[in-house]
Chain A
Amino acid sequence: MQGTPFERRALHDISLDINDGTFLALIGHTGSGKSTLIQHLNGLLKPSSGSIKMGSTVLEAGGKKQDLKPLRKKAGIVFQYPEHQLFEETVEKDIMFGPRNFGVSEEKAKKTAAKVIEMVGLPQTVLEKSPFDLSGGQMRRVAIAGVLAMNPEVLILDEPTAGLDPSGRVEIMELFYNLHKSKSLTTILVTHSMEDASRYADEIAVMHKGELYLHGKPADIFNQREALQQAGLDVPETVQFLMRWNERSGQNLSLSNFTIEELAKQVSQSLKKRGS
Chain B
Amino acid sequence: MLQNVIIGQYYPASSPLHRMDSRSKLIAAFFYLFIVFLANNWVTYGLLIAFTAVTITLSKVPMRFLYKGLKPILILVVFTLFLHVFLTKEGDLLYKAGFLEIYEGGIIQGVFIAMRLLLLVLMTSLLTLTTTPIDITDGLEHLLGPLKKWKLPVHEFALMMSISLRFIPTLLQETEKIMKAQMARGADFTSGPIKERARAFVPLLVPLFVSSFKRAEELALAMEARGYRGGEGRTRLRALEWHKRDSFALILLLLLTVLLFVLRS
Please report A residues at the B interface, Cβ cutoff 8 Å.
1, 3-6, 39, 42, 44, 69, 72-73, 76-77, 79, 82, 84-88, 97-98, 101-102, 132, 146-147, 150
Q: Can you pick out 30 interface pairs between chain A and chain B where the beta carbons lie within 8 Å of each other?
A: A1-B3, A1-B68, A3-B62, A3-B64, A4-B62, A4-B64, A5-B13, A44-B180, A44-B183, A69-B186, A72-B183, A77-B184, A79-B180, A79-B181, A84-B178, A84-B181, A85-B178, A85-B181, A85-B182, A85-B207, A86-B207, A87-B202, A97-B185, A97-B203, A98-B186, A101-B187, A101-B188, A132-B210, A147-B185, A150-B185
Contact status B177-A84, CB under 8 Å: yes
Q: Does B206 contact A (CB under 8 A)?
A: yes
Docked Cα-Cα span, A77 to B184, in Å, equals 6
Which residues of the other chain, B, contact A77 by a CB distance below 8 angstroms? Answer: 181, 184
Q: Does B11 contact A (CB under 8 A)?
A: yes
Q: Does B15 contact A (CB under 8 A)?
A: no
Docked Cα-Cα span, A79 to B177, in Å, equals 9
Which residues of the other chain, B, contact A86 by a CB distance below 8 angstroms? Answer: 207
Contact status B181-A98, CB under 8 Å: no
Q: Does B170 contact A (CB under 8 A)?
A: no
Known: A85-B178, A87-B207. A76 touches B184 (CB 8 A): yes
Which residues of the other chain, B, contact A132 by a CB distance below 8 angstroms? Answer: 210
Which residues of the other chain, A, contact B12 by a CB distance below 8 angstroms? Answer: 5
Docked Cα-Cα span, A82 to B184, in Å, equals 12
Q: Does B65 contact A (CB under 8 A)?
A: yes
The residue among A4, A72, A85 with the most chain B CB atoms within 10 A of its own CB is A85
Interface of B is mostly: helix
Docked Cα-Cα span, A272 to B204, in Å, equals 61
Q: State the total of A-B contacts with C-beta under 8 angstroms.
A: 72
Contact status A84-B185, CB under 8 Å: no
Which residues of the other chain, B, contact A5 by a CB distance below 8 angstroms? Answer: 11-13
Which residues of the other chain, B, contact A102 by a CB distance below 8 angstroms? Answer: 186
Q: Does B164 contact A (CB under 8 A)?
A: no
Which residues of the other chain, B, contact A146 by a CB distance below 8 angstroms? Answer: 185
Residues 144-179 (chain B) with a chain A CB within 8 angstroms? 174, 177-178
Which residues of the other chain, A, contact B65 by a CB distance below 8 angstroms? Answer: 1, 3-4
Chain B residue total in the interface (Cβ 8 A): 28
Docked Cα-Cα span, A84 to B62, in Å, equals 36
Q: Give min CB distance, A85 to chain B, whole Å.
A: 4
Please report B residues at the A interface, Cβ cutoff 8 Å.
3-4, 11-13, 62, 64-65, 68, 174, 177-178, 180-188, 202-204, 206-207, 210-211
Besides A5-B13, A87-B204, A101-B188, 15 new A-B residue pairs in contact (Cβ under 8 A), listed by A number:
A1-B4, A44-B184, A69-B186, A72-B186, A76-B184, A79-B181, A79-B184, A82-B181, A84-B207, A84-B211, A85-B178, A85-B182, A97-B185, A101-B186, A147-B185
CB-CB nearest in chain B for A156: B184
Docked Cα-Cα span, A1 to B203, in Å, equals 27
Which residues of the other chain, A, contact B182 by a CB distance below 8 angstroms? Answer: 85, 97
Docked Cα-Cα span, A77 to B183, in Å, equals 10
Which residues of the other chain, B, contact A101 by a CB distance below 8 angstroms? Answer: 185-188
Which residues of the other chain, B, contact A98 by a CB distance below 8 angstroms? Answer: 185-186
Which residues of the other chain, B, contact A6 by a CB distance below 8 angstroms? Answer: 3
Docked Cα-Cα span, A76 to B185, in Å, equals 7
Which residues of the other chain, B, contact A147 by a CB distance below 8 angstroms? Answer: 184-185
The 4 closest A-B pairs by CB, nearest first: A101-B186, A87-B206, A98-B185, A85-B181
Docked Cα-Cα span, A5 to B180, in Å, equals 25
Which residues of the other chain, A, contact B11 by a CB distance below 8 angstroms? Answer: 5
Contact status B186-A150, CB under 8 Å: yes
CB-CB nearest in chain B for A146: B185
Q: Which of B13, B186, B203 contacts A87 (CB 8 A)?
A: B203
Which residues of the other chain, A, contact B3 by a CB distance below 8 angstroms? Answer: 1, 6
Docked Cα-Cα span, A69 to B187, in Å, equals 9
The residue among A6, A84, A97 with the most chain B CB atoms within 10 A of its own CB is A84
Which residues of the other chain, A, contact B178 by a CB distance below 8 angstroms? Answer: 84-85
Docked Cα-Cα span, A165 to B4, in Å, equals 38
Q: Give min CB distance, A180 to chain B, whole Å.
A: 19
Docked Cα-Cα span, A256 to B246, in Å, equals 69
CB-CB nearest in chain B for A5: B12
Docked Cα-Cα span, A42 to B183, in Å, equals 10
Q: Which of B68, B184, B187, B188 contacts A42 (CB 8 A)?
A: B184
CB-CB nearest in chain B for A3: B64
CB-CB nearest in chain B for A39: B180
Docked Cα-Cα span, A101 to B68, in Å, equals 32
Q: Give min CB distance, A135 to chain B, whole Å.
A: 15
Q: Give min CB distance, B167 to chain A, whole Å.
A: 16
CB-CB nearest in chain A for B65: A4
Which residues of the other chain, B, contact A79 by a CB distance below 8 angstroms? Answer: 177, 180-181, 184
Docked Cα-Cα span, A146 to B181, in Å, equals 11
CB-CB nearest in chain B for A97: B185
